[in-house]
Amino acid sequence: MPKSDAYVIGYAAVVCLASSLLLAVATVGLKKQQDKMVELDRKFNVLKAFQAPVVDAKGVRAPAAEVEALFAKHVRSLVLDPATGLPIEGRAASDYTDREIEARTVLPLYEWIEGDRATKYALPTSGKGLWSTIYGYLAVDGAASKIVGLSFYRHGETPGLGGEVEKDWFVKNFEGATIYADGAPRRVVVAKGKVGGRRSAGAEEQVDGISGATLTGKGVMQFLNRDIERYGAYFERLRKD
């Protein structure tokens, strides 16, 4: 027997409502686990920028327990006031949303602790590539004069082209690059092609670019230098201590 239009509409409405309720329950139920995984990924990428042993020779990530333990043992976080470069007492990066951090209303900073002192520093960095916003962490040495490591963990660049930003061959170009020398900052320059790894040229440190992804490389160059400059006041105090 054919069903009336009212029956069909009512049935569809009930199915949609039930599906929406189930989806809402699942989302709420999984949120705590999702937040936990986001936090774990943040810690992993900070450690990776610090060159901590969180990835083996085969590219396999360390177990969550090892990441948590290593972060707790060696990493301390603080937040800087963008206007003064001074730490904000009692605040940590986890107190702020990703949107606040991306907008640079605060400047999170991570310290690598050996013994009782900080020997390296890492900062979040992000900006536009060609098709997307690229997110990562950049680590510098204790004198804030050289790059220790770089880790990109999220982007929407073209696989095989701009997507190479996350590959080891690209980020390792930056390791050891000078960002401050002879009393003045140096800019990191992503070349349009190959420069043979990394070369110093006056006030620049040139690194190999990605073939066919000049605009992605230009974006990386711009936001890395911009974010390093934002922490300049704090780094300057480090150099004087």
What would the pLDDT profile of 180-221 be if each residue is shown by its tens digit? Answer: 988 888 999 888 877 776 677 767 888 888 888 889 999 999
Residue 95's pLDDT is 81
Asked if residue 3 is part of any domain, the answer here is: no
Residue 84 belongs to domain spanning: 47-240
Average pLDDT over the chain, rounded to an integer? 85
**30 inside domain:** no
Domain assignment present for 90: yes
The reply to whether 33 falls in a domain is no
What's the confidence (pLDDT) of residue 5?
61
Q: Does 23 map to a domain? A: no
Per-residue model confidence as pLDDT tens digits over 154-164 = 888 888 888 88
Domain contains 63: yes
Please, what sign has the CA dihedral across residues 86, 89, 94, 99? negative
Q: Measure Cα distances from 100 to 24, 108, 152, 208 in Å.
A: 26, 10, 19, 32
Number of domains comprising the chain: 1
Number of C-alpha atoms within 13 angstroms, CB side, residue 229?
Answer: 10
Using one digit for the tens of pLDDT, what is the confidence trace for 111-124?
Answer: 999 988 999 999 99
SS (H, E, C) the chain: CCCCHHHHHHHHHHHHHHHHHHHHHHHHHHHHHHHHHHHHHHHHHHHHHCCCCCECCCCCECCHHHHHHHHHHHEEEEEECCCCCCECCCCCHHHCCHHHHHCCCCEEEEEEEECCEEEEEEEEEEEECCCCEEEEEEEEECCCCEEEEEEEEECCCCCCCHHHHHCHHHHHHHCCCECEECCEECEEEECCCCCCCEEEECCEEEECCCCCCHHHHHHHHHHHHHHHHHCHHHHHHHHHC
Residue among 198, 194, 197 at smallest CA distance from 178: 198
In-domain check, residue 131: yes
Q: How confident is the model at residue 22 (pLDDT cuts 50, 70, 90)?
A: low
Query: Residue 29 has what pLDDT?
Result: 60
What pTM was computed for the model? Answer: 0.82
In a domain, 4, yes or no: no
